[in-house]
Amino acid sequence: MTETGFQLHERLAQDCVEVARWELSLVLLMRERLWPWLVLVPRRPGLREIHELAPSDRALLVEEIARAGSALQRAVAADKINVGAIGNLVPQLHVHVVARHQGDPAWPKPVWGAMAPEPMDDQALAARLAQIRAALG
């Protein structure tokens, strides 16, 4: 299956910057200062839920989530990697992969809704993007 007809949701385009394009997913970096945070968006049009993916794409998504989590853990020495596919505000299927550290501002609670977003400035964004790309190889 190709990505014909795939279009990134405007909220994800606004909140994130592209890191890479993997076999299935568009890999995005959330512009969030407090948490190193990747978002994987399967490049399949019209999907809202993981169970809507073809079985082979579901298996590939799990592998890509693991790859993203492993890279984040290496890049920032995370204590924990949180993974979630919530989609209440952005209905397009996407998976959050968030690096957590004990003692971070929301620890041990989830990051969603814990605090007002704190976007990175351009310099910090460029530095984190380079750090993540290096960890991804």
The pLDDT tens digits for 106-116 are: 999 999 888 88
Flag whether 59 is in a domain: yes
Going by pLDDT thresholds of 50, 70 and 90, the confidence category of residue 82 is very high
CA nearest to 115, candidates 127, 105, 128: 105
Question: 20: domain range?
Answer: 10-136
Domain count, the chain: 1
CATH at residue 17: 3.30.428.10
| Mean pLDDT to the nearest integer, 79-100 | 96
Flag whether 129 is in a domain: yes
Count other C-beta atoms under 10 Å from residue 68's C-beta.
27
CA nearest to 119, candidates 40, 38, 35: 35
Flag whether 2 is in a domain: no
Flag whether 117 is in a domain: yes
* pLDDT for residue 4: 78
